[in-house]
Amino acid sequence: MIQPLATALPLMVTVGNHEIDSSANRELDMTGGDSGGECGVATLKRFPYLGSSVEKMWYSFDYGSVHVVMLSSEHPSTPQVAFFQNDLASVNRSATPWVLALLHRPPFASVSKNSNISNELAAAWHPVFVEAGVDMVRKMQWLRCPV
């Protein structure tokens, strides 16, 4: 389904609750289940740049003058914060002045179906984003293209 788009434009993805259900998944911990037990292996095989393991599916890349960091709202924040800080330490903000962070679930939301998760994400990430001078934080969602 994504091949026409993926062969015409760069397609970078981040992991969400429909790609991975694991003991690390916050939704699984909170409700006893999420979306059917997906293991993340199929997503990792289709998009190998996500990482080398379903336990570490976050990465970064540069696109023009923007440094993009794709994070996982489905994995614990602690190892990602370490990755994020090390990653940004190597970014030349003169050549790449803009930093964009993306997650599947919104870390900042006034109303959310998963407000406990959003609150947890905001508590973990907000001080890190402020300290790093992140320019924009965005929730990932499907790109809907006209057929």
Most confident of 51-60, 68-77, 134-143: 68-77
The pLDDT-based confidence of 21 (bands split at 50, 70, 90) is low
pLDDT at 133: 95
Decide yes or no: CATH 3.60.21.10 for domain 3-139. yes
pLDDT at 94: 95
Lowest-confidence region among 9-18, 46-55, 92-101, 105-114: 105-114
CA dist., res. 51 & res. 39, Å (int): 14
Residue 104: CA count within 13 A, CB half-sphere: 19
Average pLDDT over residues 118-147: 78
pLDDT at 67: 96
pTM for the model stands at 0.78
Average pLDDT over residues 79-87: 95
